[in-house]
Amino acid sequence: MSPLNYLRPKTMAEAMEQLQSGVALAGGTGLTPRRAQIETVVDISDLGLDKITKIQKIFQIGAGTSLQAILGNVEVPAALRQACVLEAGWNMRNMATLGGTIMEADGRSAMLTILLALDAEIAREPEGDLIPIERFLSVRDKITLITQIRFEEPRKLLYEQVARTPLDFPIVCVSLVEADESSRTLRLAIGGYGMRPLRLPDLKKFVRKGANIDEIVHRAQGAYENAGDEWASAEYRSAVAGILVRRLLEEGTAE
């Protein structure tokens, strides 16, 4: 076991060079306990990745922004702020960053489920591009550095979960986004199981009150029909996913 090297670059260029042989360290809440398995960490705290801005309905949250800062920003949609509370207690929220959370979290994450429903985009380096979070989650272990999370301010953002206690990690959770006034697109993500939450596919069309809800519920149930693990059976998850989806759809489509 070789001793850990700690690097703290001041510029992005410096960081990129160091990250060729190191792992990005933000809040450290996930990496520090695993430090024995890591040779070099590159602390990105000085790169200025901790800003929250909203420009023309587009939120841009720096990957290094703490969950507590997101919780404290009243412009951020309420469900996303509440997700910060569900992710961790105060101390850890002061440390944990949004970038770190989406790099580390599994399916039992309110934050990841909501970001998936928001269709957030992830800015990454060194590629310098934006990728949808759904794709990001499938290549997460190959990402060098994420710098920003972007999403469009939704018209509605709803979240509901079932857990053993009010603040336990979800057994099943659902987030619904009604995108914007013009398109009225609905997006649903389901979480509580596996390595990452799921987006329900092909849910682009406008859903009027009650219309198509049964079909979407059925689809949600299908998405979790094999989602059994040590925390819950697939039968339960599938049924509850349908229940939560129905609730959110009825709430989301209510005028």
Partner 1 sequence: MRIEFTLNGSAIDLNVPDGMTLLNLLRDRLAVHGVKHGCESGECGACTVLVDGVPINACVMLAPKAQGRDLRTIESFGEHPLHGWRNSAGLHPLQKAFIETGAIQCGYCTPAMVLVADALLSKNPSPTEAEVRESLSGVLCRCTGYLKPVQAILRAAAVLRGEQIEEVSELIPISPELFNSLDFSESDYVYGEEDLQLQTKVGLLPQMQVSQDWETRHTVGRPEPKVDAMKLVQGKSAFTADIEMRGMLTAKLLHSPVAHAEIRSIDTSKALELPGVVAVLTWQDLPRVVYSTAGQSDPIPGPLDTFSLDKKVRFVGDRVAFVAAETEDIANEALALIEVDYKILPAFFEAAQAMEENAPQIHDEPEYVDFGDSDAKRNLAAKIRIDIGDVERGFDEADHIFEETYQVPKVQQAHIEPHVVVTYWDEDDRLVIRCSTQVPFHVRRQLSPVLNLPAKRIRVIKPRIGGGFGGKQEVMIEDVAAHLTIATGRPVRFEYTRAEEFYAARSRHPMSITMKTGVKNDGTITANSMICLSDTGAYGCHALTVTGNTGHKGMALYVGDGKYRQSPNIRFYADVVYSNTPPAGAYRGYGVPQGFWAVDRQMENIARALDLDPLEFRLKNALRAGELQPFSTAWSEGREPQPEIINTCGLEDCVRQGARAIGWDSKFGVSAWKDVPGKPHLKRGIGVATVMQGTAIAYLDMGGASIKMNDDGSFNLLVGATDLGTGSDTVLAQQAAEVLGVPIDDIVVYSSDTDFTPFDKGAYASSTTYISGAAVVIAAEKVAERIRIRAANMLMKAGRREIGPQDLRLSDRKVVAPDGSSVTLEEVALNSLHHEDQEQIMAVGSYVSPVSPPPFAAQFAQVQVDIETGQVVVEKLIMAVDAGVIINPLTASGQVEGGMTQALGYGVCEEMRYDDAGNPREVDFHDYHIFSANEMPELQTIFIETVEPTHPFGVKAVAEIPIDGVAPAVGNAVLDACGAAVNAAPITPERVWTALKGSS
Minimum distance from CB of 201 to partner 1 (Å)?
A: 24
| DSSP helix/strand/coil, 12 | helix
12 or 92: CB nearest partner 1: 92
Tracing tokens 């996913």 back to the chain, one arrives at 241
Residue 134 Cβ vs partner 1, minimum distance, rounded to whole Å: 25
Full DSSP string of 50-77: --EEEETTEEEEETT-BHHHHHT-TTS-
Give the Å distances, CA to CA, from 156 to 78, 115, 152, 209.
Answer: 10, 13, 11, 15
Using the rule CB under 8 A, which residue among 67, 145, 207, 232 binds partner 1?
232
Judged by CB under 8 A, does residue 41 bind partner 1?
A: yes
Rounded to whole angstroms, what are the CA distances from 92 to 33, 52, 53, 241? 13, 19, 23, 29
- Determine, following the binding rule CB under 8 A, whether residue 29 of this chain makes contact with partner 1: yes
Interface residue with partner 1 among 58, 90, 222, 250 (CB under 8 A) is 90
The single residue among 12, 85, 131, 213 that binds partner 1, judged by CB under 8 A, is 85
Tell me the two tokens of residue 155.
Answer: 């018209």
- DSSP output for 25-55: ESS-TTTGGGGGG-SEEEE-GGG----EEEE
94 scored as a contact of partner 1 (CB under 8 A): yes
Q: Does position 251 bind partner 1 by CB under 8 A?
A: no
Site string for partner 1, 169-208 (x = CB under 8 A): x-xx------------------------------------
> Which 125-164 residues touch partner 1, going by CB under 8 A?
162-164
Interface stretch with partner 1, choices 88-96, 127-135, 138-146, 183-191 (CB under 8 A): 88-96
Residue 226 touching partner 1 (CB under 8 A) = no
DSSP assignment of 188-207: EEEESSSSS-EEPSS--S--
95 binds partner 1 (CB under 8 A): yes
Tell whether residue 20 is a contact of partner 1 (CB under 8 A).
Answer: no
